[in-house]
Chain A
Amino acid sequence: MIETDILIIGAGPTGLFAVFEAGLLKLKCHIIDALPQPGGQLAELYPKKPIFDIPGYPEVLAGDLVDNLMEQIKQFQPGFTLGETAETITKLEDGTFVVTTNAGTQHKAKAIAIAGGLGTFEPRKPILKDLEFYEKEDRGVDYFIKDPEKYRNKKVVISGGGDSALDWSIFLSNVASEVTLVHRRNEFRGALDSVDKVQELKSEGKIKLVTPAEVIGFKGSERIESVDIEVNGARMNVETDYFIPLFGLTPKLGAIANWGLEIEKNAIKVNNALDYQTNIDGIYAIGDVNIYPGKLKLILCGFHEATLMCQSVYQRINPGKKYVLKYTTVSGIDGFDGTRKEAEKAVVKAIE
């Protein structure tokens, strides 16, 4: 069982920044996220798009903001359970919680901070016969690439026309023995360098491009052996070990909706006068997932909410203890890894 002070559900910007604020208060954090990488929407939906309203950054790419947040929190050594979804919650007699994921991983924490954004990202699936059979138990259909090594020297068919289809085709062209990219159109929509790179790999014969085309069926008794593809009205069959449809993701509030929390307009109601706590003592909701009068779904508001939530958890864990606000410029930062960051001392010296 993983034990921590604050269990954060959601590794988006708000969840990540909460680790920093908790760290300043010597509270340890662990984060669960359904996606295989941290960053939430920013990493999954628009890593290469700019954000213009992060204070202090006239312009920052969403992916860079995530990298910066990861760098900012690393000395507080957050734990991660990635690629798993928080499923059930139990409150123990001593006021602590146990959260279990869909994979059965158990987490024990003194407080819960739901930073779930729009919800759990679930893959958009193609409508295909027998899809359900092949998506189970490594029978060949995957919607996420959690461990690229799994595809080493295997044949892979990727379907989709956006950034993730392009980027994974590029990446797997160096890992898999054969990469086939299938898309309904001849045109792809992605960052220019990704489109150019796929063009280059296609010319070198490292990626097979099949367009305008669609995967319309599978063959294989135990697991996938090949996929049927319709190209321009004609049919072809491509041998493969894996079929990876990358058609984007849709967010769903998911299992959290059944935790007994007050929900309004698909969001979790919190007390914004104080600490962003929900109707269940010890469970907080911060960032885009919460709602209160005047709520704005902005990253910068999530940062503020995360900060106040950490203060409240500190009081909860250390009842009655006096707290004095410290400025990082004055006090520096002591990491859980033994590192210390501090302002350089000014010199006191006469100028002759």
Chain B
Amino acid sequence: MPQDITLKITDRNGQLHEVLAPTDMNLNIMELIRMYELAEEGTVGVCGGMAMCASCQCYVLNDKISLERNSDEEAMLWEAYHVKDNSRLGCQIPITEDLDGLEIEIAPEQ
């Protein structure tokens, strides 16, 4: 039985949420943010997860995942706003068991 994992997500108002994430639903971080409604609907995951809008940009706050971006993600982040070295697109991070304890912050609206 796959285990749920715990993530710490800081929303756009600076509020910290500790959320449980299932690892057996083929979810990604963007979808998790929408599932818990941590950002206003319509302001996150606008393109549906194609790495084409950067509305799900997150800052990775600890070393639970690599900061290495895939090529689509990298190309989108070249053109996005508020990009930092630790920026990733939530839609490009699949939720797996090794993400347990990940801490992220949702970047401001584009």
A49 at the interface (CB under 8 A from B): yes
The answer to whether A185 and B78 have CB atoms under 8 Å apart is yes
The answer to whether B75 and A250 have CB atoms under 8 Å apart is no
A152 at the interface (CB under 8 A from B): no
Interface residues on A, range: 20 to 34
The answer to whether A267 and B42 have CB atoms under 8 Å apart is yes
The answer to whether A45 and B52 have CB atoms under 8 Å apart is yes
Beyond A124-B110, A247-B79, whether A189 also contacts B71 by CB under 8 A is yes
What is the bound-complex CA distance between A111 and B29, given in angstroms? 41
What is the bound-complex CA distance between A184 and B76, given in angstroms? 12
Interface residues of B in 45-62 (CB under 8 A from A): 46-47, 50, 52-53, 55
The answer to whether B78 and A184 have CB atoms under 8 Å apart is yes
B40 at the interface (CB under 8 A from A): yes
A118 at the interface (CB under 8 A from B): yes
**Distance in Å: Cβ of B89 to nearest Cβ of chain A:** 13
What is the bound-complex CA distance between A248 and B76, given in angstroms? 10
The answer to whether A248 and B78 have CB atoms under 8 Å apart is no
Interface residues on B, range: 10 to 19
B3 at the interface (CB under 8 A from A): no
The answer to whether A162 and B75 have CB atoms under 8 Å apart is yes
Beyond A46-B50, A189-B71, whether A266 also contacts B40 by CB under 8 A is yes
B24 at the interface (CB under 8 A from A): no
What is the bound-complex CA distance between A250 and B109, given in angstroms? 10
A149 at the interface (CB under 8 A from B): no
The answer to whether A46 and B46 have CB atoms under 8 Å apart is no
B72 at the interface (CB under 8 A from A): yes
A residues adjacent to B (C-beta < 8 A): 45-46, 49, 118-119, 124, 160-162, 184-185, 187-189, 247-248, 250-251, 253, 265-267
